[in-house]
Amino acid sequence: MNMYDLIIIGGGPAGLTAGIYAARARLKVCLLERGLPGGLAATTEVIENFPGFPGGVSGSELMLKFQEQAEKLGLEIRSEDVSGLDLGGEIKRIETSANVYEARALIISTGSYPQTLGVPGEADFYGQGVSYCATCDGAFFRNREVVVVGGGDAAIDEAQFLTRFASMVTVVHRREGFRAAQISVERAKANPKLKFHLNAVVEEIRGSQNVEAVGLKDVQTGQKSEIPAEGVFIYVGNRPNTQLFEGKLELNKQGYVVADAKLHTSVPGVFVAGDVRETPLRQVATAVGDGAVAAMEAEKYLAAL
């Protein structure tokens, strides 16, 4: 049996920061991550708003530094996918396909995943022109026309990134205004390889073997149109990775973990950090703060047992 003081599920910026703080507190701590550490942050081309990097830093580089620091301090990281949980009682039981773990405290930092449009063609052309990660797939669309769907920071920033490869990038957004930071919108509008199709929604993604066109509908007039595209990059929000916790923790209507100001969940000894919780802002900086708070609250909880 693998017994720990603390187990962290999820290795994004929140989980890695929690690991740094917990390891420095001399807790016996293990982080379980089903993929590569770093989460969605590791797929971001450039992060400009994380303190200490005035020239910006790539998400993969920043997350690698997080991982190196955590492991240097003694955090144990295992690449395993959690398949079952028992949160009842003082000892928490965590099952993976390879092992069974026990811990006296648990931090959930499983993050979120991209939300889909749910339109015809989206699932059919996934990997054949439809993508949710410009950093991962942008280079495949050199000298091609692509569409970016969304109006938040991710959509605008990744649209800018795609202009390095694509011949033209069209941003499709259902409203006139944007949720993205104004400075990012201004840069995008000044980019000659970027154009905007506003007050429109994607109705269908069309093609034969690969994406060839995107069908649109104007939300004000109802008029339908089609624009050519060989790639569609979708950034319409995220959903929390909380399927494991349904019926075990209090979740809100959107599926995010509900917690108090100190990141205590509805179950004693279980804490939450990062994008998986109900929070007004989902950024690397806020995830880092969450990770620190959750780890320190876990340490206090363990000391009181």
Question: Are 241 and 112 a contacting pair, CB within 8 Å?
Answer: yes
Note if 30 is an active site residue: no
User: Phi first, then psi: what are they for 82, rounded to 5°?
Assistant: -70, 130
Ramachandran assignment for 8, one of left (phi > 0), alpha (psi -120 to 50 degrees), beta (any other): beta
- Position 1 scores a pLDDT of 63
Q: What is the mean pLDDT of residues 151-156?
A: 92
CATH superfamily ID and name for 116-234? FAD/NAD(P)-binding domain (3.50.50.60)
Residue 99: per-residue pLDDT = 94
* Active-site choice (5, 137, 153, 290): 137
Instruction: Tell me the pTM.
Output: 0.80
- Token pair recorded at residue 164: 């390095």
Q: Please, are residues 106 and 88 in contact by the beta-carbon 8 Å criterion?
A: no
Two tokens at 223? Answer: 């008029």
**Mean pLDDT of all residues in the chain?**
94
Of 5, 30, 124, 133, the catalytic one is 133
Per-residue pLDDT at 43: 79
How big is the chain by its Cα radius of gyration, in Å? 21
Point out the catalytic residue in the list 81, 86, 136, 260.
136
Among 42-56, 151-165, 286-300, whose mean pLDDT is lowest? Answer: 42-56
The residue with tokens 């069209």 is 170
Q: What is the pLDDT of residues 161-202, one digit of tens each?
A: 999 999 999 999 999 999 899 999 999 999 999 999 999 999
- The per-residue pLDDT for range 220-250, each reduced to its tens digit, is 999 999 999 999 999 998 899 999 999 999 9
* Catalytic status, residue 133: yes
Is 137 a catalytic site residue?
yes
CATH code 3.50.50.60 for 2-113+238-304: yes
Largest CA distance in the chain: 64
- Is 116-234 in the same CATH topology as 2-113+238-304? yes
So where are the chain's domains? Answer: 2-113+238-304, 116-234
14 or 154, which is more confident:
14
**What are the Cα distances from residue 268, in Å, to 160, 257, 261?**
44, 14, 14
pLDDT digits (tens, 9 = 90+) for 49-76: 899 999 989 889 999 999 999 999 999 9
Res 97: pLDDT? 87
